[in-house]
Each structure stands twice: as C-alpha cells, then as structure tokens.
Structure 1
C-alpha cells in the first residue's frame, strides 16, 4: 500500500471526525440517511449518466492504483533494455526471442516481439505509439470519472442543504425542531464537500499522475526498442534512455 495515501486517508478521517467533535457537533452530527441518499446516491447516479460502461469498468479496475500504484522502476527497465541491445548485437535480433515469453508487461512484450520479427524501426515506433495513445486515452477517461464525481458531489450537497432548509421552514411554528433541522440540512453540505475534497478529487489527481508516469515509461520503451531495431550501440541507448529520468 502507498504510505502517503494511507497516511492521508487517516488524516482526512481524523480531520472530519475530530473537527466534528471539537466543534461540538458530535459523531451523530455526521450521520444523516437523507443526506447520504441525496449526495452519495445522487453522485453515483450522475456518474452513471455521464460514463460509458467500458469507461466505468476501467475506472473500477484502476481505482486500486490510488492505494497500490503499479510498480515503476526505470533504472531496472533501462538496464534490461541495454542488456537486450547487447544480446541483439552479439546474436542478432532472433537472439531476443527467448526473452519475449518471460515478459509480463503486455506492451513491452508486444514491442520486443516486433523487434524479433524484424519490424522496421519507424513502423515499430508508429504502432507502439498508437497503442500508447489509445491506452492513455482510456485510462484518463476512467480517471476523469472520479473527477466528475468530485464536481457533482458538492453541488448535490447544496441541493441536500436546500431541501433540508425547506423542511425546516415547514416547522417554523415549532422552535424545538429548528436547531436539529438546520444541523441536518448542513450535513448534506459536509458530505458533498468532504467527499469531493478528501477523496474523489485527490484520487482523480493521483490516477492522472500515475497514468502520466506510465506514459513516460512506455515512451522510453518505444525509444529503446526502436534503437535496438536500428542496431544502435548499447552505450548510446543507455545514455539516451537515462534522459527520461527516474
């Protein structure tokens, strides 16, 4: 699990619950079935309306990246590509055939197989770039699903507050109900703003960052495999790939 995400989640919970206790609202002030239905169920409904099924499924699949980001070790990847380039210079491109089946990453495996098959470097680059753009587009659309939820939730929180105040207005003749009614009305606002700013928007931003890093890793893979296909010197390939950073 990502340590910063775990710490941030714990601090978010402490801020919300601790703030409620310190302000005198108590834990009961954070619970309102009506606010839950309006804000949480309403936000899910809005996301359903906005999102195509394929994007929704992809979003459910990548949301775990918030807590368990995909591993990314560029130094190890560069070392691996440089080793392949050395093998290709000594044994020819067919010498890499045994390496293909041992690769877990589908993108890297496909690229190396194209090198072994003797695909022209420029053609290899173009085909892998198309794959990269398609995957990034799908992943970013999935990340934007959570961003959209973070936009809808505060607005629905306001809707919940207005509906709660409307209910309060009906009880103006009974002052004993006013305080509780107003507090319940604003609970919806807490749900909306809290869920957006403590969960949904940070999750979307983190997913976008992970997707961007994955894109850079794959750009480095494309550059390295194209260089192997061109028969470049392993040292030159290593120097070029190190320019992508850690």
Structure 2
C-alpha cells in the first residue's frame, strides 16, 4: 500500500511559507523559565513593534524551570528544529535564555553554560550564533518595578511583588498586558537598569540586576 505523504507535504509547504515571510533582520529564539509572564511580555513587544513571528520565536522551557534546564532547552529547538511549529534546524542568529535567580541551585551553572555556548554554535548559514543568558536578580518583576522605582539594594522577590502591586494594583504573574501597562515608563526603566548594570552583574547576587533591558532594547530596535 502506498504511503500517504500528504502530512509531510503540508509541513513542507508551511515551512516554505514561513521562510518566505521572514524579514531581513536577525532571527531570534527566546526561551523563558516562566510559562506565561515572560512569554506574554515578549510577545506583546513583538506585536507592538510589528516584528515578524518568523523572525522572533518565543517559547517557554519544556525541560523544566531550573535555569540550567532553560539553557539546555534553548539548544533543543535550535539544533533539532520543531516540525510542529515549522521551525528549521539551526534557523536563528541569536538565542536568549531568560531565567530568574530566586533560589535556584543551578543558577550559576546556567550562566556558565550560556557563556560557553556563546559564539560556539553555527546556524544554517554557517554563522556563529550569539547565546546570551538574560538573568534577573531576584526575578523578572524587578524589571517591571524599575519602571516605577529606582532600586539600588537587594530585595526579596516577595518584596518586589509587594512594591510592584502598589503601582499596578491587581498585578499577578502571568499577566498578559504588562508591557502595555508599563511601556510609557520604558525609558526610565532602561536608564535605571543600565545604572544597576554598571554596579552589579548576574554573578553578584543578591545585588539587584536584570538583563531584561538588553533583550528589550534588542527587540525594540530590531527592524531599524
């Protein structure tokens, strides 16, 4: 009996269509620890700046939420592709692994592994791929809080949430409109995060730090 190749042909056509929709700027893969908060935020930016979904892929880690698992999973769709989502193997120029410090035991291992991978992978055009850890100390919500307050000393994640809710009543993790609510203060948050980066780094925890600013700046200037 002849084998039905229709599903394979449909996948091939979907992939060809997605490739045809790509823009000229870099292809970016963002993998986050969180399943809703961070993906929703970056998808909001993608929509607000009209970035091609074929160029900016946002997904959450399917291996687990530990930082090292986020870094490991970021390699997986890059190296193996994802036929269900029409993603080709090695079809990115930049990879970002987004995770929090919190109390994760593998946090520093994840930072080290990301540094080891940076520039070592090759994509489908034989270019070296930028691989960057986007870490936040203590967590992602520090970035949102910087839109309203200048933080210069360590804060527990519970205190960050408490302060953030004073500015955004009803805020909960997984909110789908965090960028829309905070974007009018983006320039202020960027300046504050950059000042923190002059004093601290992802390696100096528990001092406050967030590299979310780097990824936000990359996305908001991607098509210029």
TM over 0.5: no
Instruction: Compare the two structures and name the one with the higher helix fraction.
Output: 1
Larger RCO, structures 1/2 (Cα 8 Å, 6+ apart): 1
Structure number with greater Rg is 1
Instruction: Compare the two structures and name the one with the higher strand fraction.
Output: 2
Provide TM-score, normalisation by structure 2: 0.28
Provide TM-score, normalisation by structure 1: 0.26
